[in-house]
């Protein structure tokens, strides 16, 4: 695999991203036509179908490594790659949770059942995106997001409260991410797939919240569901990546996602 | 058929059976509607007129307005159901269940208001009126006197809501703000569904097409199709089996399917 994944401070890419957005904004104003050729030139090996894909998805910014850093790309494939990154994080987290020593003694039977289910679901989501993107990307060898690396800092996987609090944050973030990303998807089939996954993430968030505080309304608490509109949280990719990057040590950029 | 015979022909016990052939399920209830229509004849033409339209709310058009109209009808249903539940006294007071259903009721009420505004208000030509609901389905259910039945129908409504909103996503793709709002309601319905299922002792997610222990056979239509394990060509059962694979994805309901389910409770 030629993708070079650099391990460095995540914030540096956020800074780069802001700078780049300024520049690319000008580019858009200057010439929309140029936009399709301003990125990923070295990765964009044009297969016979790629022109169709570009026409279909309205952009030429495929996921891929640019100047040594992987960018998630634009349009539907960018959004799917973004989702793949989040599912990698969730899957990795629950894999560590259920394999941690003392899992069966630190958690109640109900906790364990929920956490094992979530481990299964998130690993399935991750492998689904890997397979789907491998099929949809014109040149998956270069354009498929590599396996990310994670660091949970001082998180104690033997601590029920810490694990459940982290699970709650991850699931709520997942819900917000898919809710915010829906409008960025132009292919109805992809939109439906995102919809099939987000409600399961919301079911997870609810269950984790009710494990933490069962005798309450926290399963759909006022901290996530607006008390006037009844609407759940939503976040743009840049907001979500800022949160998720607390756990992801692999540097990547999202230059073409809002 | 007179009304007494009709009631005899359809006992609560039969409906509440958790095992048995799926074949009857909602088809049987539709038949019930027809029987009820016939049984109502002696009570006058006006009631016949009403009942003859039982289950006949129209499928909404496949566009953003239609999506909101269907959503509003489903939210009307949920809103009224929870308000009636809370007022009836069927929900045990002072504990978890009451907190849960007060929160859910608040959300459904907010959703109704939000969707009416989204359709342009009550004066808008796109506005749809609240139908008249019969949550007993002609006496077959007793949700406001029998708490297990109340919980079972709540689960069916929430799981239906999740699937129905999902089925409308494609109709909203041309209206990004409405799509986003619908997704934000969709995930709230899923949070509700998970909690109601857990209150009933089930998992928060749907395994295969299982409606779950204690669910009336009549609710099977809410779960049919959930057993899907192929997502965009990927076999989700390949790693951990079909149960985990099916749980990982919720499936949509078409407009017609959602209308058929909601229509059972509309007179």
Q: How are strands ordered across the β-sheet holding A64-66?
A: A64-66, A69-71, A252-253
The predicted structure's pLDDT at residue B56:
62
Terminal C-alpha separation, chain B: 20
Nearest CB partner across the interface for B181, out of A135, A198, A231: A231
CA distance A128 to A123: 8
For B202-225, write each residue's pLDDT tens digit: 999 999 999 999 999 999 999 999
**Contact criterion met (CB < 8 Å) for B252 and A228:** no
Burial classification of residue B186, based on how many CB atoms lie within 10 Å of its CB (0-12 exposed, 13-18 middle, 19 or more buried): buried
pLDDT over 60 at B27, yes or no: no
Is residue B3 in some structural domain?
A: no
**Contact criterion met (CB < 8 Å) for A128 and B236:** yes
Q: Give the three-class secondary structure for A69.
A: strand
Is residue B114 in some structural domain?
A: yes
The predicted structure's pLDDT at residue B148:
98
Which of the four pLDDT bands, split at 50, 70 and 90, describes residue B97? Answer: very high
Is residue B18 in some structural domain?
A: no
pLDDT over 50 at B46, yes or no: no
- In this prediction, residues B184-206 reach a mean pLDDT of 98
Nearest-CA distance B153 → chain A (Å): 18
Contact B16, B149 (CB under 8 A): yes
- If you average pLDDT over every residue of chain A, what do you get? 83
Which of the four pLDDT bands, split at 50, 70 and 90, describes residue A51? Answer: very low
- In this prediction, residues A36-65 reach a mean pLDDT of 50
- In this prediction, residues B169-187 reach a mean pLDDT of 98
Is residue B16 in some structural domain?
A: no
A91/B contact by beta carbon, under 8 A: no
**Contact criterion met (CB < 8 Å) for B190 and A206:** yes
Which is more confidently placed, B88 or A48? Answer: B88
For B52-91, write each residue's pLDDT tens digit: 334 468 999 999 999 999 999 999 999 999 999 999 999 9
> Would you tell me how many other CB atoms lie within 10 Å of the CB of residue B17?
12
Phi first, then psi, for residue B91 (nearest 5°) are -85, 125
* Nearest Cα residue to B78 out of A201, B86, B140: B86
Which residues span the domain enclosing B153?
Answer: 53-263
Nearest CB partner across the interface for A124, out of B190, B194, B245: B245
CA distance B255 to B7: 31
Token pair of A173 as six digits: 């973030």
Which of the four pLDDT bands, split at 50, 70 and 90, describes residue A83? Answer: very high
For A233-252, write each residue's pLDDT tens digit: 999 999 999 999 999 999 99
**Contact criterion met (CB < 8 Å) for B96 and A215:** yes
The predicted structure's pLDDT at residue B57:
85
Q: Which of residues 161-180 of A touch B (CB under 8 A)?
A: 175, 178-180
pLDDT over 80 at A49, yes or no: no
Q: Where are the beta strands (DSSP E) in chain B?
A: 230-231, 234-235
What count of CB pairs under 8 Å joins A to B? Answer: 194
- In this prediction, residues A34-61 reach a mean pLDDT of 42
For A186-212, write each residue's pLDDT tens digit: 999 999 999 999 999 999 999 999 999
**Contact criterion met (CB < 8 Å) for A196 and B249:** yes
Question: What CATH number does the domain containing B211 carry?
Answer: 1.20.1260
- If you average pLDDT over every residue of chain B, what do you get? 84
Is residue B47 in some structural domain?
A: no
**Contact criterion met (CB < 8 Å) for A202 and B190:** yes
A48/B contact by beta carbon, under 8 A: no
pLDDT over 90 at A57, yes or no: no
Is residue B1 in some structural domain?
A: no
Identify all chain A residues contacting B238, using CB atoms and an 8 Å cutoff: 127
pLDDT over 50 at A183, yes or no: yes
CA distance A216 to A194: 29
Contact B173, B183 (CB under 8 A): no
Q: How many domains does chain B have?
A: 1
CA distance A139 to B37: 62
Contact A241, A177 (CB under 8 A): no
The predicted structure's pLDDT at residue A11:
39
Terminal C-alpha separation, chain A: 28
**CA count, 13 A, side-chain hemisphere, B171:** 22
A137/B contact by beta carbon, under 8 A: no
Give the chain A residue nearest B117 (alpha carbons).
Answer: A229
- In this prediction, residues A53-65 reach a mean pLDDT of 65
Nearest CB partner across the interface for A210, out of B114, B195, B250: B195
* Predicted TM-score of the model (pTM): 0.81
For A13-38, write each residue's pLDDT tens digit: 433 433 333 333 333 332 323 233 33
pLDDT over 50 at B49, yes or no: no
Is residue B198 in some structural domain?
A: yes
Q: Which of A177, A183, A203 to mutate to test the interface with B (most CBs of B within 10 A)?
A: A203
A202/B contact by beta carbon, under 8 A: yes
Is residue B182 in some structural domain?
A: yes
The predicted structure's pLDDT at residue A66:
87
ipTM exceeding cut-off 0.85 for this assembly: no
Nearest-CA distance A9 → chain B (Å): 33
CA distance A179 to A33: 30
């Amino acid at each position: 695999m030629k993708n070079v994944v650099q391990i460095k401070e995540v914030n540096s890419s956020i800074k780069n991203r802001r700078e780049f957005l300024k520049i690319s904004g000008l580019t858009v104003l200057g010439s929309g036509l140029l936009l399709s050729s301003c990125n990923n030139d070295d990765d964009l090996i044009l297969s016979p179908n790629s022109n169709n894909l570009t026409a279909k998805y309205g952009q030429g910014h495929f996921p891929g490594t640019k100047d040594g850093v992987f960018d998630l790309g634009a349009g539907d494939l960018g959004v799917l790659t973004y989702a793949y990154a989040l599912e990698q994080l969730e899957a990795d987290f629950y894999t560590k949770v259920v394999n941690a020593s003392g899992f069966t003694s630190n958690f109640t039977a109900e906790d364990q059942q929920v956490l094992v289910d979530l481990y299964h679901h998130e690993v399935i989501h991750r492998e689904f995106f890997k397979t789907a993107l491998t099929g949809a990307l014109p040149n998956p060898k270069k354009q498929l997001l590599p396996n990310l690396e994670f660091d949970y800092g001082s998180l104690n996987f033997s601590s029920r409260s810490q694990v459940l609090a982290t699970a709650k944050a991850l699931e709520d973030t997942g819900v917000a991410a898919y809710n915010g990303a829906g409008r960025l998807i132009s292919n109805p089939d992809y939109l439906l797939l995102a919809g099939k996954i987000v409600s399961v993430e919301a079911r997870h968030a609810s269950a984790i919240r009710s494990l933490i505080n069962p005798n309450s309304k926290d399963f759909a608490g006022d901290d996530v569901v607006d008390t006037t509109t009844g609407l759940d949280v939503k976040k743009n990719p840049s907001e979500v990546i800022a949160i998720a990057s607390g756990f992801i040590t692999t540097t990547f950029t999202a230059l073409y996602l809002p | 058929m007179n009304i007494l015979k009709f009631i005899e022909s359809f006992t609560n016990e039969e409906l509440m059976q958790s095992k048995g052939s799926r074949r009857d399920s909602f088809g049987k209830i539709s038949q019930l509607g027809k029987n009820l229509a016939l049984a109502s004849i002696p009570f006058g033409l006006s009631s016949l007129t009403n009942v003859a339209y039982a289950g006949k709310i129209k499928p909404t058009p496949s566009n953003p307005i239609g999506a909101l109209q269907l959503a509003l009808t489903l939210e009307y249903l949920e809103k009224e159901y929870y308000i009636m539940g809370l007022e009836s006294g069927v929900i045990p007071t002072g504990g978890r269940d009451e907190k849960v259903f007060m929160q859910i009721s608040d959300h459904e009420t907010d959703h109704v208001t939000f969707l009416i505004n989204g359709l342009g208000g009550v004066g808008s030509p796109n506005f749809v009126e609240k139908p008249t609901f019969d949550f007993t389905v002609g006496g077959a259910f007793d949700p406001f006197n029998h708490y297990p039945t109340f919980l079972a129908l709540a689960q069916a409504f929430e799981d239906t809501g999740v699937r129905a909103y999902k089925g409308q996503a494609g109709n909203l793709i041309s209206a990004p703000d409405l799509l986003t709002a619908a997704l934000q309601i969709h995930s709230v319905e899923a949070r509700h569904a998970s909690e109601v299922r857990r209150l009933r002792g089930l998992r928060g997610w749907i395994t295969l097409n299982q409606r779950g222990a204690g669910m009336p056979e009549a609710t099977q239509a809410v779960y049919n199709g959930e057993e899907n394990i192929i997502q965009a060509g990927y076999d989700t059962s390949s790693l951990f089996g079909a149960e985990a694979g099916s749980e990982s994805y919720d499936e949509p309901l078409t407009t017609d399917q959602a209308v058929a389910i909601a229509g059972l409770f509309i007179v």
